[in-house]
Amino acid sequence: MRSLFARIFVWLWLAMLSFAVLLVVSSPFFTRSRASLERWQRNVEEHLSQRAEEVATRIAQGENWQVPPADHHGRFRPLPVFVMRPDGSPVDGPEPPSEVVELARRIGRTSQTVSERSGMFHMVGRATTAPDGSPLIAVSAARRPPRLVDLLDPAGLSWRLGVLTALVGIVCYWLARQLAAPVAGLQTVARRLAAGDLAARVDPRVEARRDEIGTLAREFNTMADRIDTLVSAQRRLVRDVSHELRSPLARIRVALELARRRAGSEAIPILDRLEAESDRLDHLIGQLLELSRLESGGLSGGTEPVDLAELATEIAEDAGFEASSREVAVIVDSPGPVVVSGHREALRGAVDNVVRNAIAYTPGATKVRIRVEAQAGWATVTVSDCGPGVPEQDLASVFEPFFRVEEARERGRGGAGLGLAITARAAALHGGSATAANRAEGGLEVILRFPAQGNPVGCS
């Protein structure tokens, strides 16, 4: 059982039920004055009297007086009926206990029927006469005190145990809920926080508890507040710095254009290089702003039906111009329209980042494949290349901002480690996911999953 609630409930229920059953079952044994003991004694005395009378009658009539061994009554098995002479010596059968011998001698002197409890025995003795005229005494005996099972009343015990089981189960269920519910709530909040919901907090009622769970809830909320503050400050810094860089970058572009007009032909290569670097910086700033917008959950405008197959075809055509210089073919494979509900530009950016990343790392004269299909209510876009792939331990990190598998190579190709981070966040905002895996035949495969149109999971 993996559920904490189930484990607490089962163990509490079994422990309390076992203890309660033990008390119910054993209480007659320890409380000798109870009606169950008296009822048992009456039943035993009645049965012993019948056995002694039956044996005495058989002896007087000259019949076989041995009572069959299987003869028993209720839930107890009496000892064999002892037949003795007035001096206490047995006529036949096993040697009788001393208490039985003493009772037989007294009956031999008085010739009266006697019922007696002595030592460990409950005895009933009756005098009789054999056909030859010799006096004999028949003593029927049973051990006392009775065994525990002798005192139990199955009819009454069964319904008591049934009611007890139900009551104990209800109490244990309530106790288990009280113990496990706060932990389950804390688990839910932790999952929300891990998924990026920085506003997730533990219920104030749990936080107000004065036990270890309440302390844990307060510590968790303190941690969540700290994380929220740090992440918000980081996002605000990135956003503010990106905005602030736009103005000097615009002035640099203007200065470059003026310098191009005044400089001679020998300065043109240098100015071209400066313009390329400013374009790269502008692209980086744009990516930072886009990532900041996505991480804040902001997607402008409403959702609309988007055909991912059509979108992938448009992206392949646009990226084909860049890929053709290295003889890389971008191929789209789709059985037909695959429609999702979402923001078209955010979805375009998510897929485009993956495709351009694949083009950058696949060798020349190879292919980048985009496969679009619908599977069990989900739309998947799979982009595969023939590049070197990613070390297994880094596959989960490629979607983190600024992560580079090989920093020098990444910089040489102009990437800043933001494209796949934007892709992952855009997929998450559409209720989907982004994963990466190395292909067996070589290369990297990035899989984007989105809820297909009609799936209840939608954009967030």
Q: And the tokens for 290?
A: 């886009």
The one catalytic residue among 47, 73, 122, 243: 243
Question: Rounded distance, CA 101 to CA 116, Å?
Answer: 13
Cα 355 versus chain centre, distance: 39
Q: At what angle do helices 154-194 and 212-262 cross, to 10 degrees?
A: 20
Residue 159, number of CB atoms within 10 A of its CB:
9
Tell me if 21 sits within 8 A of 154, measured CB to CB: no
- Could you give the CA distance from residue 164 to residue 185 in angstroms, rounded to a whole number? 31
Q: Which residue stretches of 152-196 are H helix?
A: 154-194
Where b means 16+ CB within 10 Å and e means fewer, 278-288 reads beebbebbebb
Q: What Rg do the C-alpha atoms of the chain give, in angstroms?
A: 46
What one-character-per-residue DSSP string does 77-142 give? -PPPPEEE-TTS-BSSSSPPPHHHHHHHHHHHHH---EEEEETTEEEEEEEEE-TTS-EEEEEEEE
Q: Which of 141, 150, 153, 121 is nearest to 47 (CA)?
A: 141
Is 122 tagged catalytic? no
CA distances from 391 to 181, 300, 353, 405 (A): 41, 36, 20, 8
How many Å apart are CA 340 and CA 338, to the nearest integer? 7
Q: Is the CB of residue 347 less than 8 Å from the CB of residue 341?
A: no
What is the C-alpha separation between 250 and 231, in angstroms, rounded? 29
End-to-end Cα spacing for the chain: 34
Element (H, E) at 378: strand 378-384
CA distance 335 to 345: 23
Alpha-helical runs (H) found in 195-267: 204-207, 212-262
Show which residues are catalytic: 243
